[in-house]
């Protein structure tokens, strides 16, 4: 039987799922609720200079890349496999759009983080 | 003895030699508290219509031959009681996703072929003489595979699996659980021979982790768990084969 290349997609999917489970809710709470509403956290925590500094900081950049890219790989994998339930035939085009999207987002994120490095 | 109450049992009947397609037929069956769905069907066959076809043997959830859809759910009919389905009607169909041979009897050929393909027997690591005595196994080693030995090949998990419904080439939950039963056995050395089946698209990678297979399994085998463990094994095999080409999987 022919070996499947699924592990290439499954590994970032699994890693993204793990990361999302561990950090997703808190990230939504901090960036989407707590900071904007000024609950417990100060608004300037997410001011441009603050976030820029974070994105320029050694391992924090790696973490940002992981959160953005792996979340994306996780999401597209789920979307791709849910297409059938939406009545969309999940052929090569759908695959290209989904995983290509995650790939593009990964490259763009990496390039952006690179470009703002000191 | 309390008077038996009647219950309506609707059966999806199909005799391919003269029915253009399966059709529902309804029967009134006297039902006592201790009657299983299987006994309901036996009443129909014995008293109402002798042409009704269904498989059964043990009547005690051991042989795995009486699987069918009961009110849309894959069930062993000998283990499902009519009293729990009151007031009815009870709708009985052949196991979903499988070709109907006649009435409630499905074609198991495909399943048996898959089962054969995974070599469901111990393949010793090296030849062993009688003089060497029996294999010894610790309780921990036994625990690694014991639950998977409980599979009775009833195929309820195939009727439950939406991925199998889409693609019948998928090896499927039950057979993967049995494959794992042998791979996980310390006496077995056949993993390298079985691994190509797991690694294929039709192997573990067709599974989308829905988990309904484990929910319907009458023997608590948890086939979804076997599939999931083997996704990790297969992924490791995928990436490590370049480092250790022979028998990369542990
Ligand atoms: S794993 Fe469970 S549901 Fe599937 S064939 Fe075996 S006993 Fe039946
Ligand atoms: S008759 Fe054997 S499992 Fe139901």
Closest-CA residue to B204 (of B232, B183, B182, B185): B232
Residue with CA nearest ligand 2 atom 3? B61
**Interface ipTM:** 0.74
Confidence tier at A39 by pLDDT (50, 70, 90): confident
In the predicted model, what is the mean pLDDT of residues A40-59? 86
**B41 exposed, middle or buried (CB, 10 Å; 0-12, 13-18, 19+)?**
buried
User: What is the C-alpha to C-alpha distance for residues B98 and B111, in angstroms, rounded to an integer?
Assistant: 10
**B91 exposed, middle or buried (CB, 10 Å; 0-12, 13-18, 19+)?**
middle
Q: How far is B12 from chain A, CA to nearest CA, in Å?
A: 26
How many residues would you count in chain B? 250
Q: Is the pLDDT of residue B74 over 90?
A: yes
Q: Quick one: pLDDT at residue A104? A: 96
Confidence tier at A42 by pLDDT (50, 70, 90): confident
- All CATH 3.10.20.30 domain ranges of chain B, comma separated, are 5-106
Q: Residue B92: phi, psi to the nearest 5?
A: -115, 125
Give A65's contacts (C-beta < 8 A, 6+ positions apart). Answer: A106, A109, A110, A113
Residue with CA nearest ligand 1 atom 6? B151
Query: Using the beta-carbon criterion (under 8 Å), do B199 and A11 form an inter-chain contact?
Result: no
Q: Quick one: pLDDT at residue B1? A: 59
- All CATH 1.10.1060.10 domain ranges of chain B, comma separated, are 109-243
Confidence tier at A84 by pLDDT (50, 70, 90): confident
Give percent of chain B with pLDDT exceeding 90: 86
pLDDT, chain A, mean: 90
Q: Quick one: pLDDT at residue A47? A: 87
Q: Which residues line ligand 1 (CB under 6 A)?
A: B 151-157, 173-174, 177, 217, 219, 221, 223
Are the beta carbons of B12 and B93 closer than 8 angstroms? Answer: yes
**Greater confidence, A82 or B98?**
B98
In the predicted model, what is the mean pLDDT of residues A45-61? 88
By DSSP bridging, strand B90-93 and strand B67-70 are antiparallel
**Greater confidence, B232 or A38?**
B232
The string of pLDDT tens digits covering residues B81-103 is: 999 998 889 999 999 999 999 99
Q: Is the pLDDT of residue B3 over 80?
A: no
Contact pairs from chain A to chain B, CB under 8 Å = 32
Mutate to test the pocket of ligand 2, among B65, B75, B108, B221 (most ligand atoms within 8 A of CB): B65
Q: Quick one: pLDDT at residue B244? A: 66
Domains and CATH numbers, chain A: 7-117 (1.20.1300.10)
Supply the CATH classification number for the domain B5-106. Answer: 3.10.20.30
Q: Is the pLDDT of residue B222 over 80?
A: yes
**DSSP code at position A83:** G
Q: Ligand 2 within 6 A of B39 CB?
A: no
pLDDT, chain B, mean: 93
Q: Quick one: pLDDT at residue B2? A: 65
Q: How far is A83 from chain B, CA to nearest CA, in Å?
A: 13
Confidence tier at B128 by pLDDT (50, 70, 90): confident
The string of pLDDT tens digits covering residues B44-70 is: 999 999 999 999 999 999 999 999 999
Query: Using the beta-carbon criterion (under 8 Å), do B203 and A10 form an inter-chain contact?
Result: no
Q: Quick one: pLDDT at residue A117? A: 79
Q: Is the pLDDT of residue B28 over 90?
A: yes
The string of pLDDT tens digits covering residues B134-160 is: 899 999 999 999 999 999 999 999 999
Q: CA torsion sign, B172 to B178 to B182 to B183?
A: positive
The string of pLDDT tens digits covering residues A86-97 is: 888 878 888 899
Q: What is the DSSP string of chain B?
A: -PPPEEEEEEEEE--TTT-SS-EEEEEEEEE-TT-BHHHHHHHIIIII-TT-----S-SSSSS---EEEETTEEEEGGGSBGGGGTT-PEEEEPPTTS-EEETTEE--HHHHHHHHHT--S--BSS---GGG------HHHHHTTGGGGG-----HHHHH-HHHHH-TTS--HHHHHHHHHHHT-TTB--HHHHHHHHHBTTTGGG-----HHHHH-TT---HHHHHHHHHHHHHHHHHHTTT--SS---
Pick the CATH number of B109-243 from 1.10.1060.10, 3.90.550.10, 3.40.190.10, 3.10.450.40: 1.10.1060.10
Q: How far is B131 from chain A, CA to nearest CA, in Å?
A: 38
Residue bearing tokens 């309506």: B8
Q: Residue B102: phi, psi to the nearest 5?
A: -170, 130
Q: Is the pLDDT of residue B250 over 80?
A: no
Closest-CA residue to A16 (of A94, A75, A102, A79): A75
User: What is the C-alpha to C-alpha distance for residues A48 and A59, in angstroms, rounded to an integer?
Assistant: 19
Confidence tier at B248 by pLDDT (50, 70, 90): very low
| Residue in A with minimal Cα distance to B171 | A1
Candidates B166, B200, B208; nearest CB to A4: B200
Give A42's contacts (C-beta < 8 A, 6+ positions apart). Answer: A35
Per-residue tokens: B184: 């996980």
Q: Is the pLDDT of residue B245 over 80?
A: no
Q: Is the pLDDT of residue A99 over 50?
A: yes
**DSSP code at position A87:** T
Residue bearing tokens 């508290």: B33
Are the beta carbons of B148 and B178 closer than 8 angstroms? Answer: yes
Cα(B91) to centroid of ligand 1, in Å?
A: 22
User: What is the C-alpha to C-alpha distance for residues A39 and A32, in angstroms, rounded to an integer?
Assistant: 11
Give percent of chain B with pLDDT exceeding 70: 96
Confidence tier at A18 by pLDDT (50, 70, 90): very high
């Amino acid at each position: 039987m022919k070996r499947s290349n699924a592990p290439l997609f499954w590994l970032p999917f699994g890693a993204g799922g793990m990361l999302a489970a561990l950090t997703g809710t808190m990230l939504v709470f901090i960036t989407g609720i707590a900071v904007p509403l000024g609950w417990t956290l100060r608004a300037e925590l997410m001011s441009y200079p603050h976030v820029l500094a974070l994105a320029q900081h050694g391992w924090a950049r790696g973490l940002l890349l992981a959160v953005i890219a792996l979340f994306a790989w996780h999401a597209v994998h789920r979307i791709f496999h849910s297409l059938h339930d939406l009545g969309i035939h999940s052929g090569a085009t759908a695959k290209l759009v989904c995983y290509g999207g995650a790939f593009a987002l990964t490259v763009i994120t990496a390039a952006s983080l690179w470009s703002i490095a000191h | 003895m309390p008077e038996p109450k009647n219950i309506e049992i609707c059966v999806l009947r199909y005799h391919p030699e003269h029915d253009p397609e399966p059709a529902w037929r309804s029967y009134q069956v006297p039902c006592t508290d201790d009657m299983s769905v299987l006994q309901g069907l036996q009443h129909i066959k014995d008293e109402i219509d002798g042409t009704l076809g269904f498989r059964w043997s043990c009547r005690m959830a051991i042989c795995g031959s009486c699987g069918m859809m009961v009110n849309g759910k894959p069930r062993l009919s000998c283990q499902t009681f009519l009293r729990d389905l009151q007031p009815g009607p009870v709708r009985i169909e052949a196991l979903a996703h499988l070709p109907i041979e006649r009435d409630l009897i499905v074609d198991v050929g495909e399943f048996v072929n898959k089962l054969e393909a995974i070599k469901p027997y111990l393949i010793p690591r090296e030849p062993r003489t009688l003089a060497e005595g029996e294999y010894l196994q610790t309780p921990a080693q036994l625990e690694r595979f014991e639950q998977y030995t409980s599979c009775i090949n009833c195929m309820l998990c195939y009727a439950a699996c939406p991925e199998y419904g889409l693609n019948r080439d998928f090896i499927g939950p039950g057979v993967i659980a049995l494959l794992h039963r042998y791979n996980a056995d310390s006496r077995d050395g056949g993993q390298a021979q079985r691994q190509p089946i797991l690694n294929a698209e039709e192997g573990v990678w067709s599974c989308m982790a829905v988990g309904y297979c484990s929910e319907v399994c009458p023997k608590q085998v948890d086939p979804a768990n076997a599939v999931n463990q083997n996704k990790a094994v297969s992924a490791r095999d995928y990436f490590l084969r370049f480092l250790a080409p022979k028998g990369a999987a542990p």
